[in-house]
């Protein structure tokens, strides 16, 4: 019986070939369009997700009027809190430390300029003469340093010699922008390498005589029970899509927005974030996504309703065939199965063809295309089933008389 019903369905498809060919094309086009729409949504979401890597958001700490980003006094505890959070990454910082050095006790001490780094990557022109692993060196807390050749020549020193220094710390002066110096401690650094200061091309306020690891300076300040300060701090926002959370964190730590009207100062109390390009790009993508999601329900319902109505009209136009089959003694349920099989045999290949075209020409995932195909079939076959059920309720005599 099932084979006979399939035979009848195939026979009906052949006799109604032009109409069924049109249904095939329409089904393929609808599935392809829905898959393409889903692909557009996916592409925008992926673009938004990859945007932080393509357009990283960086920033730095400045004084309140934004005129300085180096030569500042930036609270070490505040920077440590920012670094410990989940909002920042790739933090780079430097610190300055005034010092004096005397070859012997009879000579007057001379001022030496020290600068601490955690990495030399932002300053490629500063190249140690012999050291290959400078990154490891500056991440350590060892009492070692890299001295300029000029400093070594001036004081007749060599690599491996100790340098006994009187260290000082900066303090805020009585007036804005003024700094004073206070003796901190006396420490000895071992010269681990040298560098040529004549080749250094940076925006540093002053070329240092001695470079040292920031970790060592933190230990010295801690031993002296003195708050530690950075000279400059730059950073990258870990997740720019959560930019407002990062800004809230910085505000909670006391960092304000730049105010050009503020007076000059050496206090690192403002944050400058280069987020204009990222915000503009992210806003554009988010607006596209909002429009796509907003129109998706209406568009999907419209297409699927058209599918249901199309299948309904196709079945409605077959009233004469249905009446003849019923008058020849075919059971009602058998007639229903014949016409539903016909819908499946036409719509199934059409939908698969549309899905295959979408997989070839768009970036829609296979899983999403399968969902689109399944939902399309549900609506299409629902319309066909309703149409067939309506035909089955009608009087066979009435349908025959209508055909006549």
The whole-number pLDDT of residue 318 equals 63
pLDDT at 228 over 50: yes
- What confidence tens digit (pLDDT) does each residue in 376-392 have? 888 777 777 777 777 66
Model confidence at 404, in pLDDT bands (50, 70, 90)? very low
Which residues are CB-neighbours of 357 under 8 A, at least 6 positions away?
Answer: 28, 32
- CA distance linking residue 90 with residue 97, whole number of Å: 23
3-state secondary structure of 163: strand
Higher pLDDT, 77 or 1: 77
Residue 204, pLDDT above cutoff 70: no
Q: What is the tens place of the pLDDT at every residue in 52-74?
A: 888 999 999 999 998 888 888 89
Share of the chain above pLDDT 70, in %: 82
How high is the pLDDT of residue 297?
85
Given a cut of 60, whether residue 397 has pLDDT beyond it is: no
The tens digit of pLDDT for each residue in 137-189 reads: 999 999 999 999 999 999 999 999 999 999 998 876 655 556 678 899 999 99
| H helix and E strand count, the chain | 12, 11
**pLDDT at residue 11, as a whole number:** 61
Residue located via tokens 């560098």: 195
Q: Token pair for residue 108?
A: 């007057």
What pLDDT score does 323 carry? 63
d(CA 273, CA 354) in angstroms, rounded, equals 47
Residue 145: predicted pLDDT:
94
**How many CA atoms, within 13 angstroms, populate the side-chain half-sphere of residue 280?**
4
The pLDDT score that the predictor gives to residue 117 is 92
Tokens of 139: 């991440």
Residue 305 phi/psi, 5-degree rounding, is -65, -40
pLDDT digits (tens, 9 = 90+) for 274-332: 999 999 999 999 999 999 999 888 887 887 777 777 776 766 666 666 666 666 666 66
Report which of residues 45 and 12 the model is more confident about.
45
As to burial, measured by CB atoms within 10 angstroms (0-12 exposed, 13-18 middle, 19+ buried), residue 83 is middle
User: Which residue did the predictor score with more confidence, 203 or 223?
Assistant: 223
Question: Which residue is listed with tokens 């303090």?
Answer: 171
Position 3 scores a pLDDT of 61
Q: How many Cα atoms are found within 13 Å in the side-chain-facing hemisphere of 324? A: 7
At residue 22, the pLDDT reads 80
Domain regions of the chain by residue span: 2-50+281-403, 58-274
Average pLDDT of the chain is 83
Q: What pLDDT does 189 receive?
A: 95
- pLDDT tens, position by position, 232-279: 999 999 999 899 999 999 999 999 999 988 888 888 899 999 999 999
How much is the pLDDT for 177?
A: 54
The residue-averaged pLDDT of 8-25 equals 70
Does the structure show a pLDDT above 80 at 50? yes
Model confidence at 31: pLDDT above 50: yes
| Cα within 13 Å of Cα(301), Cβ side | 4
pLDDT of residue 126: 87
Residue 165: C-alpha distances to residues 76, 171, 369 (Å)? 23, 19, 71
């Amino acid at each position: 019986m099932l084979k006979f019903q399939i035979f009848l369905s195939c026979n009906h498809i052949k006799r109604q070939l032009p109409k069924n060919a049109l249904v095939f094309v329409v089904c393929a086009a609808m599935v392809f369009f829905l898959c393409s729409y889903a692909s557009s949504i996916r592409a925008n979401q992926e673009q938004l997700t990859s945007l932080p890597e393509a357009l990283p958001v960086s920033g730095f700490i400045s004084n309140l009027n934004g005129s300085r980003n180096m030569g500042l006094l930036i609270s070490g505890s505040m920077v440590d809190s920012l670094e410990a959070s989940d909002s920042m990454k790739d933090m780079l910082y430097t610190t300055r430390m005034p010092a004096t050095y005397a070859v012997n006790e009879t000579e007057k001490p001379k001022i030496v300029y020290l600068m601490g780094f955690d990495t030399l990557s932002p300053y490629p022109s500063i190249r140690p003469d012999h050291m290959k692993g400078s990154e490891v060196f500056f991440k350590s807390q060892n009492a070692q340093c890299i001295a300029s050749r000029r400093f070594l020549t001036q004081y007749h020193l060599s690599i491996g010699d100790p340098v006994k220094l009187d260290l000082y710390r900066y303090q805020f002066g009585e007036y804005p922008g003024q700094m004073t110096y206070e003796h901190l401690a006396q420490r000895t650094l071992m010269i681990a390498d040298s560098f040529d200061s004549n080749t250094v091309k940076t925006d540093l306020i002053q070329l240092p005589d001695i470079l040292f690891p920031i970790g060592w300076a933190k230990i010295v300040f801690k031993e002296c029970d003195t708050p530690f300060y950075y000279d400059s701090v730059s950073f990258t926002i870990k997740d720019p899509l959560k930019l407002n959370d990062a800004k809230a964190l910085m505000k909670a730590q006391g960092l304000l927005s730049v105010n050009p009207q503020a007076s000059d100062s050496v206090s690192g109390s403002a944050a400058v974030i280069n987020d204009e390009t990222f915000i503009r790009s992210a806003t554009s993508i988010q607006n596209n996504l909002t429009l796509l999601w907003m129109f998706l329900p209406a568009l999907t319902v419209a297409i699927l309703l058209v599918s249901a109505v199309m299948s309904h009209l196709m079945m409605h136009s077959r009233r004469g065939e249905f009446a003849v089959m019923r008058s020849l003694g075919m059971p009602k349920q058998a007639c229903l199965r014949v016409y539903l099989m016909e819908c499946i045999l036409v719509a199934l290949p059409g939908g698969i063809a549309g899905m295959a075209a979408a997989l070839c020409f768009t970036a829609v995932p296979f899983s999403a295309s399968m969902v689109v195909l399944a939902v399309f079939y549900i609506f299409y076959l629902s319309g066909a089933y309703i149409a067939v059920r309506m035909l089955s309720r009608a009087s066979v005599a009435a349908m025959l008389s209508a055909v006549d």
